[in-house]
Structures are given as structure tokens and as C-alpha cells.
Amino acid sequence: MTAMTNPDLANRIDTLSRDGVDVVILGAGVNGAGLFRDLCEQGLNCLIVDKGDFSSGTSAAPSRLIHGGIKYLETGEFRLVAQSTLERNLLLRNAPHLVDPLPTMIPIFSWIKGVPAALRTLFGSTTAPRSRGAVLVKIGMALYDFYGSRAQVMPRHRFFSRARALREMPGLTPKITAAGLYYDARIRAPERLVMELVKDGMAANARSAGLNFTELTDASDGALTFRRPDGGTFAVRPKLVVNAAGPWIDRVNALLGEETKLIGGTKGSHILLKHDELIRRLDGRMIYFEADDGRICLVFDYLGRALVGSTDIPAKDPDNVRCEEDEIDYFLASLRSLLPGLEFDRSQIVYTYAGIRPLPASDAANPGLISRDHSAPVLEPNARRPFPVISLVGGKWTTFRGFAEEVADTVLSRLKRPRQRSTRDLPIGGGHGFPMDAGERKIWIDRVARTSGTSAERAKELLYRYGTWAERMLSERSAHADSERLQDAPGYSLAELAWIARHELVEHLADIVLRRTTLAVTGLVTARDLERIADVLADVLGWDSARRQKEIEDTKAVLVRDHGIRL
């Protein structure tokens, strides 16, 4: 259900417009959504808005990892590694329906290379190690285990000889000297987690609201004016504004009347391959490897596809960013070098994507040496602007909760409000009440299957897609039976898609295909299924035939232009 047809959300907006709002958050990526949830949990009345869909910018283009940042050890960002490993461990507990452990293998090509260069980097050199030998990797993994010991949920690292590594990973290049194995985590649907954070925030505070496709049009006389998709406008008077616009931060500050130069982003691109033999050999693991030029790359099994990434290229225009041909060439060449016995070509690519990391402005010659840490500089009120503006600069996907907690404490202090609860152990969305061990899961699955009349297999599938929200989905009356499925992606039912349309603020067909589901990123979307999904949305959202056809054409254009999908 869209904001304009959702009576509860419309009432919330009217209340905020009439009575004022404590905090307005501009940008609904993971950092903005994490802060929104935290502040709503403290009883603050908040409005979060995004000019696009929730998680449609940088937060939709990560490597889909929840990781502690082992590579940040070599640049001496130990505090960031400590925070990241803790937040990774917490997410494995708080969002178990979306985040799971990922065993990670590091192929090593020498014994001692990289040690002198690593020492120089720690002391301020602007050139990262071109190669990382076994000694350096062993030290790094031991440190990684140490920093990841808080709230630990995964095993410690192991080290393999060359012979053992080649047995463990058949087809790996015989040029290796040894290999290490450690544990990080992956996230199956990062865009869904952002949606769940927003919904959690609105559930925690009935006077808070989240809006997508809402554009800031004016900031004057202490008020912010926004335009909704239907052309209607509304205004609010905030006590404080948070700029969480990621790579658009400086542009948003300009709309607020402030010229800043806080952001200097880099582009990260990825591709996904349909390669059954590679998936079989990975056997649920990620390979975290040095490409021939010394850059760190990765490949792992993401929902049955091989996800390959990532580049790190200086970029300035977040509105026009996509994976380019030379980046695809780079990925394929790196895979051929790593796994010389396998074939890799463009015909295997089912999806490509790219985003700009909102890194701090920097003059570093090597993008890899720009800090991945975060900060929150404050623009104090002035004669033209009666409210302070806090800009969320940088920040890794993994650390969104910790970053949100830091900024929330700053906000609470400025508004003289106490913290009411911590989010450290607070489940996210469908993670609430999630059965954590195999026995509890079987009881949950059997009960839900019995009460909903579906199969245990289907209840399990939805549990790992939506968490415990799956029970609500299966129990809600629908015009469609759960047995009515998409023809080319039968894992998705029409009833499921209708539920999403009713409850997750869907405005466009692309919202469903790209962000509320994993249909596009796994290469499952087809022209035939787009027609069927559009039928469901037209019924739920009241689209006429012209609107339905435009949504199909617009979505096809985005899939082809920005993601390399062949429809």
C-alpha cells in the first residue's frame, strides 16, 4: 500500500505537519533507517524521507556481506574492525532470517611478501601492500579472531597447507602457497533489512513516519517542504535534521542552504553469474583473493548465483553509476586466473550493479586507503536555519546499528531526552521471535504449516525470507492462493507479492522486483513474470491500464540499462 492510500500513514504525516517533529532524517538507506529505528525506540517523533525508494541508493549496492573488515587491519583502523566484528556478531543474532555465517578462504601466494609494505602503511604510507604473504595473513586472522571475540558466534580461523587447500577447493590455481579459512557473514536481502528497520521504527512510535519517493523542495523559515509522488506537498518544522543522503550529502546540504565538501566517494561494481559448477566447488564458502594487480576481490554463493566483486574507482555522480564493460572484463579475467580450470564468459552474467560508497572527502592517491570509518559533523543553527544539521559521513553497511546508536546519543543529548533502551540486542523485523535452534525451528514450521494449510517446505522457505513475519503473510486473507506462483520464479506466490504491496509502501513495480524481493538480483525476473506482477500491483494499488503499462516499460528500462538484464 502506498503512502497516499495508507490511512494510518496519512494521519501520521498530518500530525507531524500540525504538531511539529523532533527529528527529520533525509535519506532512507541503512544508516538513516537504523537511526530512525533507534530514535523511535527512544520515544522521539521522527520523519524519514527519501527522494527514491527505501534502500534504493548506495545501500542497495553492497557486496552483500556483513563483515568485520579484515582488510582494514593493514591500514590500522583497529577501532573500526572491533566495532564491525561486534556488529556482525549481533546481526547474526538479531536478523537471523537475513544474515548467516560465511566461511571465507584466502588463497596465499607467498610466505613473507607484504610485511614491509604493511608496516609502512601502518605508519602513514599512501601505498597499500601489493601482496599479502602467509605471515601477514596469519597475523591478520589472529587479530581478527581477537577483535571478533565479543558476542562470538562463529569458529576461529584455520590455516591450510597448499595440498590441503587444493583438496578443499578443487580447481584453485596451483600457484598458491597456502590458504587461510576464517568466518564472516552474508546478508541475503539488504534492501529488505532496511525496509524492516523503517517498519520497526513506525511500530515503536505511532507518531513517526517513513516516506519514499518524497522530495525536499524548500527549506526556509524553519520549515522543510516536501513533494509527494502525486504532486501534493506538506511541510514540517523540525527541532533537528539529520542528513543521511550518502553520496548525495553535499547536494542535500546545499538545499538546506549550506555549502559543504564532506563526501569523496568511490564506485564499487559487482556481477552475478549463473555458474553451477563454480557454486558446487565453492560449497557455501567465499574466496577472498588477490587479483593479479594486487587488488582484493571476492566470489561467493549468493542464493545460487556466484557474486563477484568489487571495484574501487573514484566517482562523483551517484545518479549515473553502473557496472561498465572494462569492470566486467576485470572480474572475468580475475576469475580465470584464480580458477584456471573453469570457463568464464559474459553469457553467464545474469545481473550487474554498482553504487558509490559515501566515503569522507580525501586526497589519498589510492582509493583503498580512504577510511571506511564514519563521522557525524554538525552544522550549528544560524540566522537562516534555526535547527542543527548532522551529516552522516561514511559508515560501513555492517556498522549501521553502532553508528546509529552514536548519533542517536548525540541527538538525545541535544534535545535533552534520556535513552530509554539499547538496540544492541533488539531483533530486527522478522527476527523478532525467530526460532534460533533446529528443534525450535521445526516446531515453528510445523505449527505455521498446520494453521495456514501450506506445506512445511513452504513455511520454511518463507521463514528464511521474511522471518516470523511469514506467519502474518500466510494467515492474511488474499485474493490469491499461495499455490498461485510466478511462472518463471515459482518460489514466489501472487499472494506473497500482494501482501508486500499492501504492507511495504510499494509505489512502483521496480520496488517489488529490485528491492522487496530478490527476483532481479538472482536473474529470475522475466518479461512474462513482470506482466503478472504488474497485474497484482494494479489490483492492490488501483492502477489503471495506462499506469500498469508505464510501470512495466519503466522497470524494463531500468533492468536493461542499469543491470544488464536480458528480457
pTM of the complete model? 0.93
Give the residue-averaged pLDDT of 444-451.
Answer: 96
**DSSP code for 493:** B
Would you place residue 435 in the very low, low, confident or very high pLDDT band (cuts 50, 70, 90)?
very high
The per-residue pLDDT of the chain, averaged, comes to 90
Which phi and psi (to 5°) does residue 336 adopt?
-60, -35
Q: State the pLDDT at residue 125.
A: 52
What ranges make up the beta strands (E) of 36-176?
Answer: 46-49, 65-66, 99-108, 158-161
Domain 84-187+264-369 has CATH 3.90.1150.10: no
Among 56-70, 185-199, 367-381, whose mean pLDDT is lowest? Answer: 367-381
Give the residue-averaged pLDDT of 52-70.
Answer: 89
* DSSP H or E segment with residue 164: helix 162-168
| CATH of 3-58+191-262+372-414 among 3.50.50.60, 3.40.50.970, 3.40.50.300, 3.30.70.20 | 3.50.50.60
**Does the structure show a pLDDT above 90 at 434?**
yes
**Does the structure show a pLDDT above 70 at 282?**
yes
The DSSP bridge partners found for residue 355 are 268
Q: How far apart are CA 41 and CA 421, in angstroms?
A: 7
Q: What share of the chain is helix, strand, coil (3-state, %, to 5)?
A: 40, 20, 40
Give the residue-averaged pLDDT of 178-196.
Answer: 94
The answer to whether the CB of 441 falls within 8 A of the CB of 461 is no
The answer to whether the CB of 508 falls within 8 A of the CB of 554 is yes
Q: Which residue has the higher pLDDT, 82 or 356?
A: 356
**Does the structure show a pLDDT above 70 at 370?**
no
Would you place residue 266 in the very low, low, confident or very high pLDDT band (cuts 50, 70, 90)?
confident
Q: How far apart are CA 330 and CA 323, in angstroms?
A: 11
Comparing C-alpha atoms, which of 266, 263, 306, 257 is closest to residue 286?
A: 306
The answer to whether the CB of 470 falls within 8 A of the CB of 463 is yes
CA contacts within 13 A on the Cβ side of 181 = 18
What ranges make up the beta strands (E) of 188-319?
Answer: 209-211, 215-220, 223-227, 233-236, 238-243, 266-273, 286-290, 296-302, 305-309, 313-314
Q: How far apart are CA 519 and CA 536, in angstroms?
A: 15
* CATH architecture for segment(s) 435-563: Orthogonal Bundle (1.10)
Q: How far apart are CA 536 and CA 530, in angstroms?
A: 10
Burial-class residue 93 by CB neighbours within 10 Å (0-12, 13-18, 19+): middle
Q: Which residue has the higher pLDDT, 183 or 241?
A: 241
Within 8 A by CB and 6+ apart from 424, the residues are: 90, 401, 405
Give the residue-averaged pLDDT of 202-212.
Answer: 97
Q: State the pLDDT at residue 507.
A: 97
Q: Which residue has the higher pLDDT, 83 or 442?
A: 442
Give the residue-averaged pLDDT of 286-294.
Answer: 86
Give the residue-averaged pLDDT of 388-412.
Answer: 94
Within 8 A by CB and 6+ apart from 133, the residues are: 108, 109, 110, 111, 112, 113, 114, 115, 177
Which phi and psi (to 5°) does residue 393 adopt?
-100, 130
Among 98-112, 268-282, 388-402, whose mean pLDDT is lowest? Answer: 98-112
**Residues 213-264 pLDDT 10s:** 999 999 999 999 999 999 999 999 999 999 999 999 999 999 999 999 998 8
Grid coordinates in use for 514?
Answer: 529490485
Q: State the pLDDT at residue 413.
A: 97
Grid coordinates in use for 437?
Answer: 535452534
**Residues 506-516 pLDDT 10s:** 999 999 999 99
The answer to whether the CB of 449 falls within 8 A of the CB of 70 is no
Within 8 A by CB and 6+ apart from 533, the residues are: 486, 497, 509, 512, 513
The full length of the chain comes to: 567
Q: How far apart are CA 1 and CA 199, in angstroms?
A: 13
The answer to whether the CB of 217 falls within 8 A of the CB of 56 is no
Among 20-24, 60-64, 108-112, 473-477, whose mean pLDDT is lowest? Answer: 108-112
Give percent of the chain above pLDDT 70. Answer: 91
**Residues 111-124 pLDDT 10s:** 666 545 554 555 45
DSSP 124-139: T-SS--S---HHHHHH
Q: State the pLDDT at residue 245.
A: 95
Within 8 A by CB and 6+ apart from 52, the residues are: 212, 213
Q: State the pLDDT at residue 363.
A: 59
CATH 3.50.50.60-classified regions of the chain = 3-58+191-262+372-414
**Residues 146-157 pLDDT 10s:** 777 777 677 787
Give the residue-averaged pLDDT of 310-322.
Answer: 85
Three-class DSSP category at 276: helix
Bond before 310 cis per omega within 30 degrees: yes
**Does the structure show a pLDDT above 60 at 368?**
no
Q: How far apart are CA 2 and CA 505, in angstroms?
A: 5
Comparing C-alpha atoms, which of 368, 375, 353, 397 is closest to residue 263?
A: 375
150, amino acid identity: R
Q: State the pLDDT at residue 90.
A: 94
Would you place residue 351 in the very low, low, confident or very high pLDDT band (cuts 50, 70, 90)?
very high
Q: How far apart are CA 440 and CA 103, in angstroms?
A: 24
The answer to whether the CB of 378 falls within 8 A of the CB of 12 is no
Whole-Å CA distances, 46 to 4, 32, 34, 241: 19, 11, 12, 10
Burial-class residue 292 by CB neighbours within 10 Å (0-12, 13-18, 19+): exposed
The answer to whether the CB of 36 falls within 8 A of the CB of 107 is no
Whole-Å CA distances, 401 to 391, 408, 493: 16, 10, 32
The answer to whether the CB of 220 falls within 8 A of the CB of 349 is no
